[in-house]
Amino acid sequence: MSIDYLQRTMVTKMKSITVPKPLGSVEDFTEAVECLKTLAHPARLRIVIILLHGRSTVGELATDCGIQDNVGLRFN
């Protein structure tokens, strides 16, 4: 998956959501930073992208991501 595809997918999804500009300082975004670190693994990010397109079972996600379904969320 290319960065362009990811960007187009996220932009398309975000265009349908109207949100106000975030308030707060850089320090206020610490929790969001931790969340984004969690998504830093390629398989986890792929899972999110797949789920943005609709529902999937754990087995389908595992197959699409090339991982075993019993270890799908245990990435270090």
| 59: in domain | yes
> pLDDT, tens digit, for every residue of 48-63?
999 999 999 989 999 9
| 33: in domain | no
| 62: in domain | yes
| 69: in domain | yes
| 63: in domain | yes
Q: Which domain holds residue 65?
A: 42-76
| 48: in domain | yes
pLDDT at 29: 87
Count of the separate structural domains present in the chain: 1
Question: Judging by beta carbons within 10 Å of its beta carbon (0-12, 13-18, 19+), is residue 47 exposed, middle or buried?
Answer: buried
| 49: in domain | yes
Longest dimension (CA), the chain: 41
Question: Torsions phi, psi of 20, nearest 5?
Answer: -75, 160
Q: What percent of the chain has pLDDT over 70?
A: 84
Cα–Cα distance measured from residue 58 to residue 30, given in angstroms and rounded to the nearest whole number: 30
